Amino acid sequence: MNSVPQHIAIIMDGNGRWAQMRHMPRTVGHAKGAAGVRDLVEFCARKGVKYLTLFAFSTENWSRSEEEVSTLMGLFLNYLEKEIKNLSQAGVRLQVIGDVAGFSQELQERISEALKATAANEGIVLTVAANYGGRWDIVHAVKRWLATQPQPDAQGLTQEEVAKFLSTAHMPDPDLLIRTGGEQRISNFLLWQVTYTELYFTNVLWPEFDPIQMALALEWYQTRQRRFGQAK
């Protein structure tokens, strides 16, 4: 039986449908979805999870309506301003992965303040993937690797070397990936990193994914037999 996953990654999907089913604008679903994050972070920390990575905004999500994009940016900003104090008191260390240069100046500043404010914390590492894409991550890693090489030699570009330059270099690969909202796809999340991750898909929409649902996912994870390509 597996123990508690060290690293859980989540594709938080289904906010829009949750709201639409209630004849409310999609943005209401995003607000409800964001409000539930604190309980889940605390629950995971209590269970002994070391890393929690949340997919908040993909490189493709810019194609949504201006109203929806600006609501999502506003929620992120609000989260950084209001929630960070609570998270910090709980020992949470925040990380942000993705192309943050694509965000407004104000949001970029809030992000760096929040990173600084929680940098010395030693509890669970909460990584928010924002303007993140798995393909972006890989290309970005190779570009960063090239920039460190005075005379680039492709022989030196090993898997370990690429991994060191990925935005996720601060943590192990996810043990468990959860996707809420019923879709069974990766949608350009951690493409490189999910090589041997256990995949848990649930129809529960993100605004309804509470600690009870998380406990079910953890129970399911414990029943999986991980082989990593070995015969067993």
Residue 91 structure tokens: 């020992």
Counting contacts by CB under 6 A, is residue 17 touching ligand IPE?
yes
Counting contacts by CB under 6 A, is residue 116 touching ligand IPE?
no
Closest-approach residue to Mg ion (CB): 13
In the list 5, 7, 40, 55, the residue contacting ligand IPE (rule: CB under 6 A) is 55
Instruction: Return the DSSP state at 81.
Output: I
13 is catalytic: yes
Compute φ and ψ for 115, nearest 5 degrees: -65, -45
The residue from 15, 61, 131, 188 that is catalytic is 61
137 is catalytic: no
Select from 10-18, 40-48, 159-167, 169-177 the region that touches ligand IPE (CB under 6 A).
Answer: 10-18
In the list 5, 7, 9, 11, the residue contacting ligand IPE (rule: CB under 6 A) is 11
Counting contacts by CB under 6 A, is residue 72 touching ligand IPE?
yes
Q: What's the sign of the alpha-carbon dihedral 207, 134, 70, 101?
A: positive
C-alpha closest to that of 5 among 168, 227, 190, 214: 214
Q: Which residues pair with 81 in a beta bridge?
A: none
Counting contacts by CB under 6 A, is residue 187 touching ligand IPE?
yes
Residue 196 structure tokens: 């041997």
Radius of gyration, CA atoms only, the chain: 18
- C-beta atoms surrounding 166 within 10 Å: 20
Nearest-approach distance from CB 10 to ligand IPE, in angstroms: 8
Please identify, using beta-carbon distances, which residue of 187 and 213 lies nearer to ligand IPE: 187
Counting contacts by CB under 5 A, is residue 13 touching Mg ion?
yes
Please identify, using beta-carbon distances, which residue of 5 and 16 lies nearer to ligand IPE: 16
C-alpha closest to that of 211 among 84, 45, 93: 45
- What is the total residue count of the chain? 232
Which residues are the active-site residues? 13, 61
Give the interface with ligand IPE as residue ranges (CB under 6 A). Answer: 11-17, 55-58, 61, 72, 181, 183, 185, 187
